[in-house]
Structure 1
Amino acid sequence: MSAPRLLPASTEHRDARPGNRVRRALVALIARLHRWAESGSAGSAVCTWSCLQGSVVPGPSEALFLPLGLSDPRRALRLAAWAALGAVVGGLIAYGIGRYAFDAVGRPLVSLFGIGPARWHSLEGLFHRRGAMLVLLSTVSPLSTKLICIGAGAFGVPFPAYLAALTLGRVGRFGVLGLVVRFAGDRLVARLERKLGRSIETVA
């Protein structure tokens, strides 16, 4: 009987890497929330994901809103409102982490972005000068809103200005996405199905 074939070390330990564990956990979380949404609680599932993503969980903010909205464009605006609500609450949690729990929670989250203590403290002046503007830009750009919100709390961006910028940005972002999905969702789905050559409902 031949000896069992050993996998290369790189393959054997690939799934043990922290990054892979985070990705698997993220996919499992989204899948669980999607099942929750399909059970009839789409709004609360979208709100929950947006809150988690806006505070401590990595991942795209539209991961739940877009597929659920495209599956039924008529409810896209309602889902967008839920997504915006959850994202604002998540941003408030992130602000609280920066203000009251930076050393215990905020610093480890910041380190995930490859930002060391020296680089982080060098941003203090920028937050003091343009904190609210940074928050607003982060909601509509590739900047990490979670990281910016933690920084806003850690560096003492005034709360009223912070809340106004966060709310304006999040409502604007999801409002525009909701309008696009509501009025162009059917065409987007039809185009995608033509490219796939099958119904999008059959795609796992």
Structure 2
Amino acid sequence: MKLFGPLYDRCRVLAAHRHAPWYLGFVSTIESIFFPVPTDVMLAPMALANPKAWWRLGLLATLTSVLGGVIGYGLGYFAIEAVMPWIVRVGYDDTYARVQELFSQYGVWIMFVAAFTPIPFKVFTVAGGAAAMPLLPFVLASLVGRGIRFFLVAWVVAWGGPKVEPVFRRYIEIVGWVIAVLILGAIVWLNMRG
């Protein structure tokens, strides 16, 4: 099933659009709250289309992702009862319970790991608020984790340039499914820890 290739191609078209930074900011924000497609799918083609702006793109993705994380935190902190039916409907309820346990065990470190890795950051943002994690450590861990991830993606793509793009496009389907399997594996791992 071809899913990530067509998505990547669409993001490449959007990356060349004059409003591309707005699209990146929007995708990055909502990805930290509920959107299933990772920001990297939009960030990589934008860094390829404008390699000199890689650091600005990484910064934009980082800041808007943290903004989305703070919104997710607010949903968890102020409205977990209203958000819980959605968490159950999308099948994240067991994961949410495990994430709550991880917050109590590891605190701010689990937020950093969630921000950097391909595990579902959105679950951690809502759970961080519901667990009443202090906001400043939440924001700092998100900022550092997301920053390292997005600056690294933008830099690698900008550095590799057009010579890497055909290779990247050729393997995007594999990379996308590997990330999906990693996310699934993280969910299974979290469920097995309970």
After TM superposition, the score normalised by the length of structure 2 is 0.72
**Alignment CA distance shift 1:122-1:47 (3 Å):** closer
Partner amino acid, structure 2, of 1:70: L
For 1:135, which of 99, 108, 111 is the aligned residue?
111
CA distance in 2, matches of 1:178, 1:69: 5
Q: Distance in 1 between matches of 2:42 and 2:98?
A: 35
Distance 1:90 1:114 in 2: 18
Tell me if the contact between 1:110 and 1:147 (Cα under 8 Å) persists in the aligned partners.
no
Deviates more, 1:99-108 or 1:168-177: 99-108
Structure 2 CA distance, aligned partners of 1:72 and 1:123? 37
TM-score, length basis structure 1? 0.69
1 or 2 for the larger relative contact order (CA 8 Å, sep ≥6)?
2
Q: 1:140 to 1:176 in 2, by over 3 A?
A: same
1:183-194 equivalences under 5 Å are: 183-191=159-167
Q: Would you say 1:180 and 2:162 are equivalent positions? A: no
Q: Give the structure 1 partner of residue 141 of structure 2.
A: 165
Specify every segment of 5 or more residues in structure 1 that has no aligned partner in the other structure, as ranges.
1-22, 197-204
CA offset at residue 120 of structure 1?
A: 4.2
Counterpart residue type for residue 73 of structure 1:
P
Q: Which runs of 5+ in 2 are unaligned?
A: 172-194
Q: 1:58 aligns with which of 36, 58, 67?
A: 36
Q: Give the Å deviation of 1:188.
A: 0.5
In structure 2, relative to structure 1, the CA distance for the partners of 1:155 and 1:50 (3 Å cut) is same
Q: Which amino acid aligns with 2:72?
A: A
Preserved CA contact (<8 Å) 1:136 1:168: yes
Secondary structure of the corresponding residue to residue 107 of structure 2: helix
RMSD of aligned Cα (Å)? 2.8
Aligned residue type for 1:146: K
**Match of residue 80 from structure 2:** 102
**Which of the numbers 51, 69, 72 marks the counterpart of 1:73?**
51
Judge conservation of contact 1:131–1:152 (CA < 8 Å) in 2.
no
Give identity over the alignment, percent: 24
Task: Quote the Cα distance in structure 2 between the aligned partners of 1:153 and 1:146.
Answer: 11
Q: Distance in 2 between matches of 1:93 and 1:126?
A: 21
Decide whether the 8 Å contact of 2:16 with 2:49 is kept in 1.
no
Paired amino acid for 1:88: V
Which protein shows a greater Rg?
A: 1
Give the structure with the higher percent helix: 2
Q: Distance in 1 between matches of 2:53 and 2:117?
A: 25
Specify the code of the residue in structure 2 equivalent to 1:51.
T
Structure 1 residues 148, 186: CA separation in 2 closer, same or farther (over 3 Å shift)? Answer: same
Distance 2:88 2:144 in 1: 24
Report the 3-state secondary structure (helix = DSSP H, G, I; strand = E; otherwise coil) of the residue aligned with 2:39.
coil
SS of 1:128's equivalent? helix
Give CA-to-partner distance per residue, 1:154-195, whole Å, 9 cap, x none.
1111111111101111111111112111211222025458x6
Aligned residues: 165
Q: What's the counterpart of residue 88 of structure 1? A: 66
**Within 1, Cα distance between the matches of 2:93 and 2:42?**
28
Q: Deviations over 1:107-134 (max 9, x none)?
A: 4135413424xx7446534312313111
